[in-house]
Structure 1
Amino acid sequence: MIDRLEKEVDMLERHLQVLKMVIESEPIGIVKMSNETGYPHHKVRYSLRVLEEENLIEPSSQGAITTERTAEFVDELDEKLDEIVDKLDTMKIEEAAEIEG
């Protein structure tokens, strides 16, 4: 169960790294992103597809570009991640209390 969570977090980290590259260097293509991140082309392509499905990027003839939704997502991202971290911290505290009790 924890292994699956760790894989999901790793994948989210990759998606966010790809999104950050698009924001900073748009338009940008798969080859450049792969070379700069070290991720294989197929993993970059998958991240781009996920980001496109979320309407955070869109394809152009020169490469991926941001959408109108990108800025709103980025503004909300830190708050959402903080909420998740708080949940995980709470789970950790509850786990410790159960073991001690």
Structure 2
Amino acid sequence: MNILLGNRTHVIERIENEVEMLERHLRVLRLVIRNEPIGIVQLADELSIPDHKVRYSLRVLEEEGLIEPTDRGATTTDDLRTYLNGANDRIDGLRERVGALAIGGGSGDRDNAATADTRASEP
């Protein structure tokens, strides 16, 4: 049983890391939108994120066509509006999907599982 719990922790940690990275990308994008043009140093300072992580987020956002580099810093592209129209709905959908994945579904389900385990061990 401990092996199974160890695997769950590993999976959850990977999901947490992915969500943290997505959160960082969106925080960078939000700040670019509010303060464009904005440079790496200012982004890093305002978000309290190391420069190398800001650079990575900027590269991802650029590859998605949401921002572009300029001599004065990152600026948004014309494609951003289309992205923003559906982004929040997609994020809400992901929130619901992840919430539905909760293992055990709540304390009531854990109590039922414990009761079922006790019954199974009875002669």
5+ residue gaps, structure 1:
none
Bigger relative contact order (CA 8 A; separation at least 6) = 1
Q: 1:78 aligns with which of 77, 88, 91?
A: 88
Normalising by structure 2, we get a TM-score of 0.75
Report what 1:17 is aligned to: 27
- Greater mean alpha carbon deviation, residues 46-55 or residues 66-75: 66-75
Within a 5 Å distance, the mapping from 1:50-89 to structure 2 comes to 50-89=60-99
2:100 corresponds to:
90
The separation in 2 between residues aligned to 1:96 and 1:11, in whole angstroms, is 26
The residue that corresponds to 1:26 in the other structure is: 36
* TM-score normalised by structure 1 residue count: 0.90
Structure with max Cα Rg: 2
Q: Does 1:45 align with 2:55?
A: yes
SS of residue paired to 2:105: helix
**CA deviations over 1:35-80 (Å, ceiling 9, x no partner):** 1111010000000000000001000110000011111212211100
Bigger Cα displacement from structure 2, 20-29 vs 82-91: 82-91
Query: Structure 1 or 2: larger helix share?
Result: 1
State how far apart, in whole Å, the 2-side matches of 1:86 and 1:37 are: 27
- Runs (4+) of structure 1 moved beyond 3 Å? 97-101
How many residues are matched? Answer: 100
* Structure 2 residue runs without a partner (length 5+): 1-10, 114-123
Question: RMSD over aligned Cα, in angstroms?
Answer: 1.6
